[in-house]
Amino acid sequence: MKHYSTHAIEMFTKYVNQDTDGFNWLVNNGYPELLATLNAIRDDKKSFKFLMDNKYFELAAFVNSIWDDPKALKVLLDKKAFDWAACSNIINGDETAQVALLKMNKKHFVNLAYAIQRRIHEDGDRNVSPWGVLQNMFNVKKLFKKDEDN
C-alpha cells in the first residue's frame, strides 16, 4: 500500500472541500488516485475502475467501506490500512474511530472524514432539492438518448 504523508492527506481534504489549491497540488505532485477516490465516492464508475485497474485496492476498499460494505472494511483491516478504515468508520458515525485517530495524532484523517461526510451530504441534498431533481431528470434523458444512439 502506498503511504500518504500528512501533507498529502491535508491536500486531499482541501480538494474534497472544493479548494483548487488542493486539486492543483494533487495533480502537480502525482496523486491521481486521490482525485479518483473522491469521484468514486461520488459514484463515478470510471474513477472506481481507475482505482481497481491501477491496483489502488485499499482506496477502492475505502470507497466501498464508506457505503457500508463490511467486506471492504475487512479488506482494509486485513491490509493494515487502519487509518483509512477508521476514516470510513467516522464517516459512518463511529465516534470511537475518531477518538482512536486523535490518540494516534492522525487529526488529518479525522478532518478528511468530516470533509467527505459533508460532501456526501451536499451531494444528497443536491439530488433531492427541486433544482437537483430537475437536473437529474435532464441527465437521465441524456443517458437514454446515448443508449438510443448506439
What cell numbers appear for 15 in the block? 480538494
Q: Does 132 have pLDDT greater than 60?
A: no
The rounded radius of gyration (Å) of the Cα atoms in the chain is 16
* pLDDT at site 117: 95
What cell numbers appear for 19 in the block? 479548494
Q: Does 56 have pLDDT greater than 80?
A: yes
DSSP string, 5-19: -HHHHHHHHHHHTT-
Place of cell 468530516: 114
Residue type, 19: D
Please give the Cα distance from 79 to 34 (Å, whole number). Answer: 18
pLDDT, averaged across the chain: 87
pTM score over 0.75? yes
Domain ranges for the chain: 6-149
Q: Does 150 have pLDDT greater than 50?
A: no
pLDDT, tens digit, 9 for 90 and up, residues 75-110: 999 999 999 999 999 999 999 999 999 999 999 999
